[in-house]
Amino acid sequence: MRLLKLRIEGLKAYKTPLELEFVARQRVVKENSPLYELLPRVYQNSTLMFIGDNTSGKSPTIEMISFAMRMLEGMPLSLIKNAMVLDNVGVGERFHLETYFMGRSERLYKLLTTIRKDVAFFEEEIKFIIEYEALYEKEPSKIRSRKNLFTFEEEDPVLTRKGKAEELPLDVSIAKDIYKEETCGMLHLDLIRLSEEELLQKFLSVDKTLLKFTAPQIEKISLDAVDEVRGVKGIHLKFYDLDPFFLKEEKELRRYISPGLMRTTVLLHMASQVLKHGGYLLVDGLGREMSRDKAIALLRLFGNPEVNRKGACLLATTLDPDLLDEMERNDGIYLLHYEAGIEVKNLAELLMRNDLKKSDIYRSGTLPGTAPLESQFNELLNHLKSQM
């Protein structure tokens, strides 16, 4: 299942409704394009990059994308690791999701969902329930281009929360069965809220070839190794030019391998799985704990049609403007800033030309929320001077 567009309205944290498109908005040149053709004249971006200063709303935004995806998969809302912006929803308050997605049959779906924060009467537990839902469907033959991709005025709902949906729990979407029928093995993986324990377990199960790329200094690492002297099982860790270590517990690895290295290795492992099967990889803070060259390598993998044959999509937040130069198209970049609420703008709405160096444009301060570093530094400098 491919997410094509997401619109969320009613969240206090956002100054205007959050609206994101996963399909290309600008003119498409097929030759060597980092795009995946979904339908004739309809293309999906291989990467969506969300950039903004600290506290600009990057993490809440990518968490809401994950929330919407989990909901479409049929995961109960009570089991989804809620995005932080949902903490500001009061009891009895509502927010609305408008989700457009496409399955392997190439049918296009539109799902309208109203979610209310409620208190269970008997359990006295605060939770989110789905108050209203309507699912619309459109055949691919009716789609001529992106211009009418999201037009459903002539369609009637094929399913609502009535009828069959009455058998569903109040926190499970009616899209659940559609997702099962239409997904065809696509993955949705994310590193948004991976615990230290989960990170360690995934690190220990990665392909050793990937480990050579992220940690070439490690000669060997093996689980369930047996210590020849004590006869107990543990982890055998060997760095080049150093004596081997025998670790009795997995958590001891943290003394020798940093969380940043673990996250980088796990991230590339997840990327290999998503590239193989198709789907989405969500990363909050690309380039934060990994070197820039490895972050660039990841972007290039998703933009390479010889590797990305199934239309996998990378969704990533970053603070690093230089990573924008790896993005060929403006419509794959979202700028975020906070001014009496989170504002999210697609770069294609603000800048028509794709050939300009995007990092320079970002640093120039000509775009909303992208004040030049020099002016910020001068403001800090003057403040410190006034205190001397």
pLDDT at 177: 81
If asked whether residues 143 and 25 sit together in one domain, one would say yes
Domain containing 53: what range?
2-193+279-376
Same domain, 289 and 342: yes
In a domain, 161, yes or no: yes
Q: Residues 290-335: pLDDT tens digits?
A: 889 999 999 999 999 999 999 999 999 999 999 999 998 999 999 9
Domain boundary among 213, 234, 261: 261
Residue 231 sits in the same domain as residue 360: no
Q: 64 with 29, same domain?
A: yes
CATH of residue 341's domain is 3.40.50
253 & 236 share domain: yes
**Residue 98: pLDDT above 60?**
yes
pLDDT tens-digit map of 214-233: 888 988 887 766 666 666 77
Residue 163 pLDDT > 90: no
Least confident range from 86-95, 107-116, 367-376: namely 367-376
Please indicate, yes or no, whether residues 80 and 219 belong to a single structural domain of this protein. Answer: no
> Do 25 and 63 sit in the same domain of this protein?
yes
Task: Please check whether residue 143 lies inside any domain of the structure.
Answer: yes
With bands split at pLDDT 50, 70 and 90, how would you rate the model's confidence at 6?
A: very high
Higher pLDDT, 50 or 168: 50
Residue 233 lies in a domain: yes
| Residue 112 clears pLDDT 60, i.e. is over it | yes
pLDDT at 161: 82
| pLDDT of residue 92 exceeding 60 | yes
pLDDT for res 54: 87
Residue 385 lies in a domain: no
Q: Domain boundary residue among 261, 289, 306?
A: 261
385 pLDDT tier (thresholds 50, 70, 90): confident
Higher-confidence position of 181 and 322 = 322
Residue 229 lies in a domain: yes
The answer to whether residue 383 is domain-embedded is no
Q: What is the mean pLDDT of residues 268-296?
A: 90
Query: Minimum mean pLDDT among 10-14, 150-154, 292-296, 306-310: which range?
Result: 150-154
Residue 266 lies in a domain: no
Q: Are 226 and 361 within one domain? A: no
pLDDT at 354 over 90: no
Q: What is the pLDDT of residue 353?
A: 81
Q: Determine, yes or no, domain membership for 273.
A: no
What's the average model confidence in pLDDT over 80-87? 81
pLDDT at position 15 is 93
Say whether both 94 and 51 belong to one domain: yes
Q: How many domains does the chain have?
A: 2
Same domain, 303 and 184: yes
- Whether 296 and 250 share a structural domain: no
User: What's the mean pLDDT when you consider all of the chain?
Assistant: 86
Residues 181 and 227 in one domain: no
CB 311 within 8 A of CB 38: yes
Mean pLDDT of 200-215: 84
**What would the pLDDT profile of 51-73 be if each residue is shown by its tens digit?**
998 889 999 999 999 999 999 98
pLDDT of amino acid 320: 93
- Residue 124 is predicted with a pLDDT of 66
For residue 162, what pLDDT band results from cuts at 50, 70 and 90? low
Q: What pLDDT, on a 0 to 100 scale, did the predictor assign at position 238?
A: 87
